[in-house]
Structure 1
Amino acid sequence: MSSSLDVCCTLKPVESDYAPVGVMEHLGDLPLYVVGPKDAKKAILVIYDIMGLHKNTQQFCDILANHGYKVVMPDFFRGRPWNIKNIGNRKAVMTWLSKVGTFDLVAPQISQVKTWLQGQGVSSAGIVGFCWGGKIGVQIAGVDRFYGAFTVIHPINVDTADAEKAQAPILALPSKDEPDMTEYMAILKKKPFGAKCKHHRFDDMHHGFAAARGNWSDELNRKRATEAIQLTIDFFNQVLNKSNL
């Protein structure tokens, strides 16, 4: 288990005055943050970090949507993200995730979202995952070919076994707090789609810099988060074939 999880457990979310432009919809009892063209043929599913529907992550979604994608961020935690009162308690966060955030619990909900997207005319999609969401995202990469591209940003629990199972290109954007991912990427590079896989390490950024733990009023943090967003957009535009948007 990577040390990034220990860092994750100690960092509080930042406060943001950003006003999200998307809307909240519901798929049964699953809330969805939705933004972007209603008639888009390509979509991006965003899996947030343990801080839930944070304004930074919503802003990330909004920027993706500005490039023609329908962007959907499910609230898997149903308005009850990780309690910041328990910051620093690694055992507590693991216990909590075992109740609300295991792959077996989340994967069926992602499948429901896929069916919902297909019903709206979406023909292909990618996934962006932050922290815990990055781990879930790469696990989906091993089982569902509907999602044709995956971006993982400061992921936890990096495991080469996930790279072995991946069925689509992955863009990896770790921070200084994540383990070295060269072996992980070497495995991906050997796959038929290996040339499309990309890896950019942000050695001057902390875990969470592009999501809930990012202080985007800080010039360097804002610059690096913007770079991560642009790398993600460029990756999806290339892999998901922008001409069909």
Structure 2
Amino acid sequence: MASACCEKAGKPVVHEYKSVGVTEKSIDNMDVYVTGSGTSAVIFIYDIFGLKFNQVNQVADRIAASAGVVVAVPDVFLGQPWPMEKMPPKPEDNLMGWISTAGSWDAVSKYLNATVDMLKGKGVTKFGVFGFCWGASIAMTAGKDTAYSFVGGAHPSFFGKTKEFSEPVQVPVILISCKEDPMEEVKEVTDKKPFASKCFYQRFDDQVHGFLGARGDYKDASVASRAGEAIEVIANFVKTSF
């Protein structure tokens, strides 16, 4: 469950990093961090900490540069991510209740669509969706639409409904999972699909849930090294998937 992963992994880490991209406004006035250039784009769905911590910007910048694509990070929580005073979440904080509303497909899909429309206005023609933690569930749901070239995520949380999120997917999948994160069950499903050979799965079981997101302590050389490996894996997948 997402709440269990969040509780075990602990609080996010303040990360000093100067982003190379820019924050723009989508057609519905939502902030979108945009980095890179090209006619293909990966849309990131961030973790519960939103854009308050800039590890996601660094990952976006590095994948954009390595893969030669645009990476866009829409602020789907509209500046209101999960509050720090509720970390780690207690049962009475009802993290899952919050995710099921603020982070539901019904709530988030309109912002995903707005980001696609904004990028189309910049000449982007191909799209993939990649989520972090709960965001991977949004990416997988988007994968029902073959308009996307691929979907996937890092340290995914599927709330005990892994098969439900996996079975409808109609495009290649990439998952970067940590210890206790789902992966094998997704692979079992996609191995039976016609695009199975285009999927990619890798575990980083020596890393904490969230190491590519707000919990990534890049001051730790071992974390930075493993994050770099994961970023290159994702970038290579992106290059071959568009």
Fold match by TM threshold 0.5: yes
How is 1:14-33 mapped onto 2 (pairs within 5 angstroms)? 14-27=13-26, 28-33=28-33
The answer to whether the 8 Å contact 2:154/2:177 transfers is yes
CA distance in structure 1 between the partners assigned to 2:153 and 2:99 by the alignment: 19
The answer to whether the 8 Å contact 1:209/1:215 transfers is yes
Report the secondary structure of 1:233's partner residue. helix
Equivalent position to 1:93, from 71, 95, 100? 95
CA distance in structure 1 between the partners assigned to 2:111 and 2:16 by the alignment: 30
Which amino acid in structure 1 is aligned with residue 156 of structure 2?
Answer: P
The answer to whether the 8 Å contact 2:126/2:149 transfers is yes
> Deviations 1:96-134 (Å, cap 9, x if unpaired)?
223321111111221121122222211111111100111
Instruction: Note if 1:172 corresponds to 2:164.
Output: no
What is the deviation of 1:177? 3.0
Report the secondary structure of 1:200's partner residue. strand
Instruction: Note if 1:110 corresponds to 2:112.
Output: yes
CA distance in structure 2 between the partners assigned to 1:105 and 1:79 by the alignment: 14
CA distance in structure 2 between the partners assigned to 1:51 and 1:215 by the alignment: 15
> Deviations 1:165-189 (Å, cap 9, x if unpaired)?
111100111100314x223202101
TM-score, normalised to structure 1, is 0.90
> Deviations 1:45-102 (Å, cap 9, x if unpaired)?
0110001112110000111121321111000111221111111224432232233211
Which amino acid in structure 2 is aligned with residue 192 of structure 1?
Answer: P
The answer to whether the 8 Å contact 2:128/2:150 transfers is yes
What is the deviation of 1:151? 2.8
Aligned pairs, number? 234
> Can you give the 5+ residue segments of structure 2 that lack an aligned partner in the other structure?
none
Report the secondary structure of 1:20's partner residue. coil
CA distance in structure 1 between the partners assigned to 2:119 and 2:25 by the alignment: 13
The answer to whether the 8 Å contact 2:3/2:96 transfers is no
CA distance in structure 1 between the partners assigned to 2:84 and 2:180 by the alignment: 20
CA distance in structure 2 between the partners assigned to 1:29 and 1:63 by the alignment: 26
